[in-house]
Structure 1
Amino acid sequence: MTSSRPYIVRALYEWILENDCTPYVLVNAMADNVEVPQQFVKNGQIVLNVSPVAVMDLLLTNETMEFNGRFGGMPMDIYVPMTAVMGIYARENGQGMIFDMDDSNPEPPVPDDDGPKPTGPKPVTPKSSGPKSDTSNQKKPGLRVVK
């Protein structure tokens, strides 16, 4: 499957704007092909204001985030691969999402039919047959009145 990150970024961007907040994007400035003003990078990261009043020509595709912004009064074209987007959130209240940077969505492994097959006994996996009748180690749910 393709990465869900660009879809989530676009959805949260719209949600943040609809709630009259300012969308900020946290970017891994050290990732490959990232083009951001390096003088504003701190600890390998940069926070970008991507609100419509702060940027021009914002383009959010499945692969990249691109726009033109002003930094210290100087216009600059910004290019951020979606894999470098670490999160998106509202400046006013912090609502949004930080992404797991290990979320590279690798393809599932394909079985190798050409290689040798393992020999020996197959591992046995216990099957669940529903709830266990032995409740000595299980916690029973309970209700209590709270006043």
Structure 2
Amino acid sequence: MSEISTKPYMLRAIYEWCTDSGYTPYLAVKVDSATTVPMEYVKKGEIVLNISYGATSGLKMDNDAIHFHARFGGVSREIYIPVNNVMAIYANENGQGMAFEPLLGAAPAPAPAPKAEEPAPPSLSAVPSGPALAPAPASRSEDDNGPDDGGDGGAPKGGRPTLTRIK
């Protein structure tokens, strides 16, 4: 019997902590062929999504994937993110959360040995390491409740949040 990953449980726990604390949970995601996101918002193969209750509809976080509907530019879109593609989950207001190594193309069962032509795993470039590198939400109209809409009209007071990586 293979061991069950703790990652989906940690994602749900950080999401619950964010919502209970009044923070806005954000996901940093590595985009590949297994993800369903609006490609016009993908930058450098990554996307940052607001997954708060007010920005999503029908949010479901199970052990294999996160899926929900969200509005982008006023248009409702279906979003599907394999848990393996999640690079980080954090509170937008203070950057507290958790970072992960994305396991692109990995199945829940043990994956086969990597081929020689496959590149090394990507770095966590979407994870903020300082105020200048925090992900910037895509611009939105006032009536848009899209995943990058933090609800406060911009960055929180005191500058942009940072994600502290704890090992």
* 1:6 aligns to 2:8 (yes or no): yes
Q: Note the C-alpha offset of 1:48.
A: 0.5
What does the per-residue CA deviation read over 1:27-70, in whole Å, with 9 as the maximum and x for residues that have no partner? 1112x310000000011100000000000000000001000000
Normalised TM-score (structure 1)? 0.68
Using the aligned pairs only, state the percent identity.
42
Q: Which residue of 1 aligns with 2:18?
A: 16
Report which of the two structures shows the higher radius of gyration computed on alpha carbons.
Answer: 1
CA contact (8 A) 2:85 2:103 kept: no
The structure with the largest strand share of the pair is: 1
Q: Note the C-alpha offset of 1:106.
A: 7.2
Letter in 2 for 1:13: Y
* 1:54 aligns to 2:55 (yes or no): yes
Between 1 and 2, higher relative CO (CA 8 Å, sep ≥ 6) is seen in 2
Q: Note the C-alpha offset of 1:88.
A: 0.2
CA contact (8 A) 2:84 2:103 kept: no
Normalised TM-score (structure 2)? 0.60
Distance 1:101 1:77 in 2: 21
Calculate the aligned-residue CA RMSD, in Å. Answer: 1.7
Aligned pairs for 1:1-147 (under 5 A) are: 1-30=3-32, 32-101=33-102, 107=110
Unaligned segments of structure 1, at least 5 residues: 108-147
Q: Note the C-alpha offset of 1:101.
A: 2.7
**Matched pairs, number:** 106
